[in-house]
Structure 1
Amino acid sequence: MHPKPHAIFATVTASTLLLGGVATATAHAAPTQAQSLYAPSALVLSLARGEDPATASVERAVTLTCAPRPGGTHPTAATACKELAAVQGKFADLTAGPSNRTCTRQWDPVVVTAQGVWEGKRVAFHTTYGNACEMAGSVNGTSVFAF
């Protein structure tokens, strides 16, 4: 059974009258997000016991944000950001220096990791040291992994 044409017309007319006689359509645009002038730099740094970063037990971890301004839970974020900027975000350059420290040859591995984004590019860094003494000697003078 088809509806009568005048019943459909009455429904359309009533709807138009409820809208003030003007048929309107509204489109809701998604709010625009402010564009940053800086490429993001946000990292999670960790220190863990073990050889493999995937299975090591994390003892400490901090967040480090460098752009647009230093922040996060890192105790010396501004200094760590300056050090990373000096080596263009190459963590290996921070940890590659020779150690002046005398350490035992005890095998108790420690792994440091950095994951996140540096100047808009993904970062996944890790390096393993034979023990905490070796690690402290290697990163001595830098604040990036001093937390």
Structure 2
Amino acid sequence: MRFSAVSVCLALVAAVGSAGVAAGTAEARPAGATSLYAPSAVVLSVGKGEDPATATMQRTVVLRCSPSPYGDHPDPVSACAELRAVQGDFAALTAGPSGVSCTRIWDPVVVAADGVWEGRRVTFSRAFGNACMLRGSDAHGVFAF
């Protein structure tokens, strides 16, 4: 049995098209704004090491805050509220002095954020001396996962 190139292409298109419908794929949308809200979605990471470029990331979550908080962050509502309070400025969020007494054991922890906050690109990272110092910072809720 011999197949022509056209019949093979039609069979592939039919198979892919029916698989896409079965999988629930959405129709293509035209380019442009599709929401009234500026996007706010960041990937947050916590890892071991001194330098974000070489740290071993141990946990990573996605936090979306517009139009409403959701994602796989354990408490997206509180995390989004903390970020809104500083207008998405991660440096301001992590700048406050720690109100917690921590040991001076050097076991560095790196936090990182990469994504979009209210339509503008954000990239941030900071190292803390140890996990206790991170928990004592104002960024505790955002990076608590």
**Alignment partners' CA distance in 1, 2:131 and 2:30:** 48
String of CA shifts for 1:28-68, please: whole Å, max 9, x gaps: xx853562101111100010000111110111111000112
Deviation at 1:128, TM superposition (A): 0.4
Task: Decide whether aligned partners of structure 1 residues 123 and 31 sit closer, same or farther in structure 2, where only a CA change above 3 A counts.
Answer: closer
2: CA distance between counterparts of 1:138 and 1:85?
17
Q: Distance in 2 between matches of 1:78 and 1:70?
A: 5
Residues 1-147 of structure 1: pairs in structure 2 closer than 5 A: 31-32=29-30, 35-139=34-138, 142-147=140-145
Residue 25 (structure 1) aligns with: none
Counterparts of 1:40 and 1:117, CA distance in 2: 6
Pairwise CA distance, 1:139:
3.4
Offset, 1:78: 1.3
> What is the TM-score with the length of structure 1 in the denominator?
0.74
Identity in percent: 62
Q: CA offsets per residue over residues 1-28 of structure 1, 9 Å max, x none?
A: xxxxxxxxxxxxxxxxxxxxxxxxxxxx
Aligned equivalents of 2:107, 2:124: Cα separation in 1 = 20
> Secondary structure of 1:79's match?
helix
Take 1:49 and 1:37, find their aligned partners in 2: how far apart are those partners? 38
CA-atom RMSD, angstroms?
A: 1.7
Cα distance between partner residues in 2 of 1:146 and 1:49 = 15
**Number of aligned pairs?**
117
- Which TM-score applies when normalising by structure 2? 0.75
Gaps of 5+ in 1: 1-29
Question: 2:29 & 2:46 partners in 1: Cα distance?
Answer: 40
DSSP-derived class of the 1:61 partner: strand
Gaps of 5+ in 2: 1-27
Separation in structure 2 between the aligned mates of residue 100 and residue 31 of structure 1, nearest angstrom: 49
